[in-house]
Amino acid sequence: MKIGILGSGFIAGKMAETINLMNRDDVELYAIGASSLEKAEAFAEKYNIKKFYGDYESLAKDNDIDLIYIATIHTMHYEHAILCIKNGKNILVEKPFTVNYSQAKEVFDIAKEYNVFVSEAMWTRFMPSADFFAGLEQSGIIGSLESLTANIGYNIRDVKRINSPECAGGALLDIGIYPIHLAMMLFGNDIEDIFGKCTYLESGVDAVDSIIMNWKSGKSATLQATILSDSSNPGYIYGSDGYVFIDNINNPQKADIFKNGECIETVDFSNQITGFEYEVEKCINDISKGKKESESVNHKLTLTVMKYMDTLRKSWNVIYPFE
């Protein structure tokens, strides 16, 4: 399978590095499309890529490409996804899939029309840790699951796109999406309500998000995301008979299981290349089976999370200029 990458920034580089280190005979990092020929050529040379294009349309039109990973900024995902779909390409789109529900719905509708595979690259949903979280309730190891507290933070307030409403900046879409997904892995997708408060940067984007999620079952999640401070990104899952400590909700390396105040077991998730390999492997597998959406992040899930984030932003009056 020949893979192309659309975009040449940091995340694109991480994906390129990952695909090369996977060292699979049936997978080739084949092409890069960037905003200029100079950027594309430099990226291709760094990551040993055969073909490079100084625009995105030429990449999308390359008939030899089987899958395109879209790694541009949030506000470009919608445009670039449609470009690739209308050229018959299967796509894996970096999170957030788009900036709002309506954009995501339109992309999926067009994908259905063109009969191509489309998935959101929500990497924590593809990792082995996702299976652990999804099966935690049934395992009964900490009894009945009751609640979650999770925090994520990076001091990225000065990053231009993060500070910019025009680039759909702020904490929620960039990092707040991670604890929301974790909560839904544990407690399910159909919540009773979601609400919260945020603080703002001078530009008007959300800076610190405090979010509460409730389920009809009585389960709840208390979440925080900040672009003002660095954090180790810890999470605590509380059950009736113990709790689980997650070292980093954005890329779990381990989960410590506690009962009666003592750690009785540590589940290790650290055997990875970068963590991106799981989404590549699962999407390749889905495409080879003729599927049009991922088993790990299906279209309904992406739309559900987009709707929840739209709800939060509306309550905070965080509306992007193009909406």
Task: Give the tens place of pLDDT for each residue, 239-251.
Answer: 999 999 999 999 9
Residue range 185-197, pLDDT digits in tens: 999 998 999 999 9
Residue range 104-142, pLDDT digits in tens: 999 999 999 999 999 999 999 999 999 999 999 999 999
DSSP state of 124: G
Residue 252: phi and psi, rounded to 5, are -60, 130
Strands of the sheet containing 220-226, edge to edge, are 193-200, 206-214, 220-226, 145-153, 235-239, 242-246, 254-259, 262-268
Q: Is the pLDDT of residue 181 over 90?
A: yes
Residues 112 and 134 in one domain: no
Distance CA 219, CA 209 (A): 20
The verdict on residue 101 lying in a domain is: yes
Contact call for residues 92 and 290 (beta carbons, < 8 A): no
Residues 150 and 193 in one domain: yes
Determine the pLDDT at residue 190. Answer: 85
Residue with tokens 């680039």: 167
The verdict on residue 12 lying in a domain is: yes
Q: Is the pLDDT of residue 208 over 90?
A: yes
CATH number of the domain residue 107 falls in: 3.40.50.720
Residue range 56-106, pLDDT digits in tens: 999 999 999 999 999 999 999 999 999 999 999 999 999 999 999 999 999
Q: How many domains does the chain have?
A: 2
Residues 205 and 114 in one domain: no
Distance CA 55, CA 61 (A): 11
Residues 147-164: what's their mean pLDDT?
97
Residues 148 and 258 in one domain: yes
Element (H, E) at 137: helix 136-139
Residues 140 and 19 in one domain: no
Determine the pLDDT at residue 295. Answer: 92
pLDDT over 90 percentage in the chain: 99
Range(s) of the domain holding residue 80: 2-121
Helix 277-288 / helix 10-22 crossing angle, nearest 10 deg: 70
Residue with tokens 């040993």: 48
- Supply the mean pLDDT for the chain: 97
Determine the pLDDT at residue 117. Answer: 98
Residues 164 and 32 in one domain: no
* pLDDT band with cut points at 50, 70 and 90 for residue 16: very high
